[in-house]
């Protein structure tokens, strides 16, 4: 499978992004459908718990479901969850406790994708830049992850 055309953008360019999606409306519709379906499933689960009078016993399960849903939907939704995790005035405690996990307990994305991003940014292969690089990330966050690496000069770096 080829590299996504938008990965070649060196800077944010709203015009190029709009042009790409203008001829691919199904991508926007599909993404919207997935988002709506994810939240509809979550809210229906909450409502079913309420109707069956089991809300008290399923609170932790629903909080975990919300965190997993936000994680699955990607970085934008993770950021929203992180922001909500700092608002005890808006979010009930069981959800808050689960959303706090979005601050520092995120799963990494595939190393192959990360190396592709590194190579695109540096315009060189990973092997050309680093004499060593960890096969797995040493840290992961909503918008990136960190690998331990060594330059050919011997200097240790995080990338």
Block means of pLDDT (10 residues each) for the chain, length 159 residues?
Answer: 58 79 84 95 95 93 95 90 93 92 80 84 86 87 82 86
Instruction: Tally the residues of the chain.
Output: 159
Taking the domains of the chain in order of start, what are their residue ranges? 12-104, 111-158
Write the pLDDT tens digit of every residue in 90-124: 999 999 999 999 887 777 778 888 888 888 878 88
Q: What is the rounded distance in angstroms from the CA atom of residue 95 to the CA atom of residue 8?
A: 38
Q: What is the rounded distance in angstroms from the CA atom of residue 14 to the CA atom of residue 19?
A: 8
pLDDT given at position 25: 84
pLDDT given at position 1: 41
Angle in degrees, CA 78, 81, 85, rounded to 5: 140
pLDDT given at position 54: 95
Residues 6+ apart with CB under 8 A from 115: 126
pLDDT given at position 90: 92
Whole-model pTM: value is 0.66
């Amino acid at each position: 499978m080829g590299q996504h055309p938008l990965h070649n953008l060196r800077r944010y360019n709203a015009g190029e992004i709009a042009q790409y999606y203008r001829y691919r409306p199904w991508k926007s519709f599909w993404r919207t459908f997935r988002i709506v379906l994810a939240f509809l499933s979550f809210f229906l689960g909450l409502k079913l718990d309420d109707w069956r009078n089991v809300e008290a016993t399923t609170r932790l399960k629903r909080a975990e479901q919300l965190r997993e849903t936000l994680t699955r939907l990607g970085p934008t939704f993770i950021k929203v969850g992180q922001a909500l995790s700092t608002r005890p005035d808006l979010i009930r405690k069981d959800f808050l406790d689960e959303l706090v996990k979005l601050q520092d307990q995120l799963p990494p994305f595939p190393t192959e994708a990360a190396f592709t991003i590194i190579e695109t940014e540096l315009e060189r292969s990973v092997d050309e830049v680093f004499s060593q690089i960890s096969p797995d990330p040493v840290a992961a966050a909503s918008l990136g992850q960190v690998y331990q690496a060594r330059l050919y000069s011997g200097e240790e770096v995080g990338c």
